Amino acid sequence: RIAYVNGQYVAHAQAAVHIEDRGYQFADGVYEVCEVRGGHLVDERRHIERLVRSLGEIRIALPMPLAALKVVLRETIRRNRVRHGFVYLQVTRGVARRDHYFPDPATPPSLVVTARAVDPAKGEAVAREGIAVITTPDNRWERVDIKTVGLLPNVLAKQAAKEAGAREAWFVDGEGRVTEGGSTNAWIVTPEGRLVTRHADSGILRGITRTVMLDVAEQLQLTVEERPFTVAEALAAREAFVTSATNFATPVVRIDGQIIGDGRPGAVARVLRENFHSFAEVTP
Ligand code: PLP
C-alpha cells in the first residue's frame, strides 16, 4: 500500500508525520472519507466543499489548490489499485513546537491521503442482517458540524457499543433526543411511514450521505421531516437506520437491546440503499 504524505508517495508501512504535528499534539485538524466505486470518487464535489468549510471554520489554510488535491486523491487511488473502497484525507495545522497558539508565522498544513479497498459484499451482508445500536449521552463539544479529527467521545461511545454487542452508538442530547451516531447520521421511519432525521444545523455533522438520501427520498416521494426525534420515538419506530459514506443506509434492528419494528431490516432503508448510487455524483 501507498500513502501520500506532505508531497510524497511513500510505502504505507513507513508513512509517518512528525511528533510535533498539531494533529498529533492537539487533534488540530480535519478529515474526509470519500467512497471509491469502480475506481471513481463518489460525491467528491460535496466532500471537497465540506473539507473547505471545515478548514475555514478552524482557520487552517488549504494545503494545496483544489485542482492539485483532486489529482492527489486520484493518484492515491490509482497507486493502491482501489476499485471499491475509500479514500481518507486529513489536513492538520502543520508541524510546530508545541504551543496552543497558532504557529506564527504559520507553518504549512500537513496533508495525508490514504486509500483502501473494501469488499462490497461485507457491507451488503451487514445490511441484510441489520445492526444493533446503543444510546449514550452526547458529551461532545458544540462544533460537531466541523469534521475534526478530535474524535475521542466518538471512539469511547463506539467502543462501548462494541462491548455491548452493538455496532454503533447513538448520541442523545440533554432533552432525550438523538443527535447522531458515532460515525453515522441517524434516521427513523415513524409508524405513519414518515422519514425523520435531525436537522443539520444543530448538534450533528451534515453527512454527505444524509444529503444525498434526502434527494433520494424526495424522488421516491417519501415524506421527510428534518427534526430531532427522541429515543422513545425511535424505540416505537417502524424502522431505523444509519447513513454514512461507508454504510450508505444500514438498517438498525435493535436499540439498547429492544427490537425495532419486526426486528428485520426495513423497506425504506432498503430502497434508499438500493437507490443511493444512482443519485450520488461519480466523477472520473
Ligand atoms: N456523523 C459523524 C459523527 C460522522 O463521523 C460521519 C462520517 O464519518 C457521519 C455523520 C456521516 O457523514 P458522511 O455521510 O459524510 O460519511
Same domain, 46 and 104: yes
Same domain, 185 and 272: yes
Q: How far is the CA of 210 from the centre of ligand 1 (A)?
A: 9
Residue 62 and residue 142 in one domain: no
63, 92, 118 - which closes a domain = 118
The atom number, within ligand 1, closest to the CA of 180 reads 1
Which of 185, 211, 248 gets mutated to test ligand 1 (max ligand atoms within 8 A of its CB)?
185
- Catalytic residue of the set 70, 122, 147, 162: 147
Domain count, the chain: 2
Report pLDDT for 199.
97
> What's the CA dihedral at 18, 24, 30, 35 to 10 degrees?
80
Q: How many whole angstroms from 154 Cα to the centroid of ligand 1?
A: 11
Domain of 30?
2-118
- CATH code for the domain in which residue 37 is found: 3.30.470.10
Q: Tell me: do 60 and 153 sit in the same domain.
A: no
Using alpha carbons, select from 2, 203, 30 the residue that is nearest to residue 109. Answer: 30
User: Around 22, how many Cα atoms within 13 Å sit in the side-chain half-sphere?
Assistant: 24
Q: Are 274 and 250 in contact (CB under 8 A)?
A: no
3-state secondary structure of 120: helix
Instruction: Report how far ligand 1's centroid is from the alpha carbon of 260 (Å).
Output: 23
Q: Tens of pLDDT along the chain (284 residues)? A: 999 999 999 999 999 999 999 999 999 999 999 999 999 999 999 999 999 999 999 999 999 999 999 999 999 999 999 999 999 999 999 999 999 999 999 999 999 999 999 999 999 999 999 999 999 999 999 999 999 999 999 999 999 999 999 999 999 999 999 999 999 999 999 999 999 999 998 899 999 999 999 999 999 999 999 999 999 999 999 999 999 999 999 999 999 999 999 999 999 999 999 999 999 999 88
Domain boundary among 72, 102, 118: 118
Model pLDDT, residue 284? 83
Same domain, yes or no: 14 and 100:
yes
List the one residue out of 147, 202, 148 whose CA is nearest residue 171.
Answer: 202
Predicted local distance difference test score (pLDDT) of residue 228: 98
Model pLDDT, residue 202: 84
Distance, in Å, from the CA atom of 39 to the CA atom of 234, rounded to the nearest integer, reads 37
CATH of the domain at 183: 3.20.10.10
Q: What is the CA radius of gyration of the chain?
A: 19
> To 5 degrees, how large is the angle CA 68–CA 71–CA 75?
140
Considering 67, 87, 118, which residue would you say is the last residue of a domain?
118
Q: Residue whose CA is closest, atom 3 of ligand 1?
A: 183
96, 211: one domain: no
Tell me, yes or no, if 147 is annotated catalytic.
yes
Q: How many CB atoms lie within 10 A of CB 244?
A: 21
Instruction: Look at residues 6, 23, 20 and name the one whose alpha carbon lies nearest to residue 96.
Output: 20
Q: Is the preceding peptide bond at 63 cis, omega within 30 degrees of 0?
A: no
pTM of the model: 0.97
The residues lining ligand 1, judged by C-beta closer than 6 Å to any ligand atom, are: 33, 180, 183-185, 205, 207-210, 243-245
Residues 271 and 138 in one domain: yes
Do 169 and 232 belong together in one domain? yes
Q: Are residues 83 and 140 in the same domain?
A: no
